[in-house]
């Protein structure tokens, strides 16, 4: 059963999340502070983290930053839970490596659906393209192991970044709009702005250098993957 860590300091929300996650068949651990959450992450295995932004010690952005800088934690999907809903907060959270962003108060069914997507428990074969290993020079995308390597070094991609890279690389030469990409790699309900996919692309490019050059920006449209160098 998937193991989920909830890092949240409000008792009522802790209880609500624990009840509904356990009803969905998840094993749930709750931490009330950012430091306690990081301690739990380092002592056990977790498949997903629900992370509150406002915590009593170190905030959720700092926890996210620490996770993405740790090779052992970098691949764990993060869904941020926060009362802040401004675009700047969304972009900042995604820029630090969060996979999704849910504002309070949230609908439980919607949150459960997003969790299911981030855990890979929905049929996304159409979005991800062929389930085959892709290799472009020394960039290897392995959807079976869910791993990307650059010159045999593992790239610490988030789930969203992996989906984005695999989808684009599976359809080389085709330009996709930003909202089209969000529909194909996400759950269709995540917070969306023109900048959301740009942040994911920027993070992805920084992790697969020098092969970031294959992800081309198509002005006025979005992005495409090309194996042809200029």
Domain range for 212 = 125-225
H and E: helices and strands count for the chain: 9, 12
pLDDT at 194: 56
Residue that finishes a domain, picked among 69, 87, 118 = 118
Residue that finishes a domain, picked among 77, 92, 118 = 118
Residue 24 lies in a domain: yes
pLDDT at 189: 44
Please, what are the averages of pLDDT over each run of 10 residues along the chain (230 residues)?
A: 94 92 93 96 94 90 92 90 74 83 83 83 44 85 86 87 90 82 62 70 93 90 74
Residue that finishes a domain, picked among 83, 99, 118 = 118
Domain total in the chain: 2
Cβ count within 10 A of residue 70? 14
Identify the CATH number of the domain in which residue 160 sits: 1.10.10.10
Contact between residue 37 and residue 70 where contact means Cβ atoms under 8 Å apart: no
Residue 164 lies in a domain: yes
Residue 230 lies in a domain: no
Q: Where are the beta strands (DSSP E) in the chain?
A: 3-7, 27-31, 48-52, 78-82, 100-103, 134-136, 139-142, 147-150, 153-154, 176-177, 215-218, 222-225
Q: What is the pTM of this model?
A: 0.60
* Same-domain pairing of 59 and 150: no
Of the candidates 188, 190, 191, 196, the one whose C-alpha atom is nearest the C-alpha of residue 223 is: 196
Residue 51 lies in a domain: yes
Name residue 7's beta-bridge partners.
Answer: 31, 51
* Same-domain pairing of 57 and 99: yes
pLDDT at 227: 66
Q: Where are the alpha helices (DSSP H) in 129-186?
A: 159-170, 178-185
């Amino acid at each position: 059963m998937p193991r989920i860590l909830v890092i949240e300091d409000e008792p009522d929300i802790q209880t609500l999340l624990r009840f509904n996650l356990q009803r969905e068949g998840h094993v749930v651990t709750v931490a009330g502070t950012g430091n306690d959450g990081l301690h739990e992450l380092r002592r056990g295995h977790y498949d997903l983290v629900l992370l509150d932004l406002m915590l009593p010690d170190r905030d959720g952005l700092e926890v996210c930053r620490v996770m993405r800088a740790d090779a052992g934690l970098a691949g764990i999907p993060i869904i941020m839970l926060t009362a802040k809903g401004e675009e700047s907060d969304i972009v900042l959270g995604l820029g630090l490596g969060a996979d999704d962003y849910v504002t309070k108060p949230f609908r439980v069914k919607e949150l459960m659906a997003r969790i299911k997507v981030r855990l890979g428990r929905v049929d996304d074969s159409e979005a991800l393209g062929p389930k085959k290993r892709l290799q472009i020079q020394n960039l290897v995308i392995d959807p079976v192991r869910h791993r990307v390597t650059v010159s045999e070094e593992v790239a610490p991609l988030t789930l969203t970044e992996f989906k984005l890279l695999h989808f684009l690389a599976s359809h080389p030469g085709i330009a996709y709009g930003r909202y089209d990409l969000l529909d194909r790699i996400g759950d269709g309900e995540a917070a969306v702005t023109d900048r959301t996919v740009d942040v994911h692309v920027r993070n992805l490019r920084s992790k697969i250098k020098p092969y970031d050059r294959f992800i081309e920006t198509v002005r006025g449209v979005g992005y495409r993957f090309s194996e042809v160098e200029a």
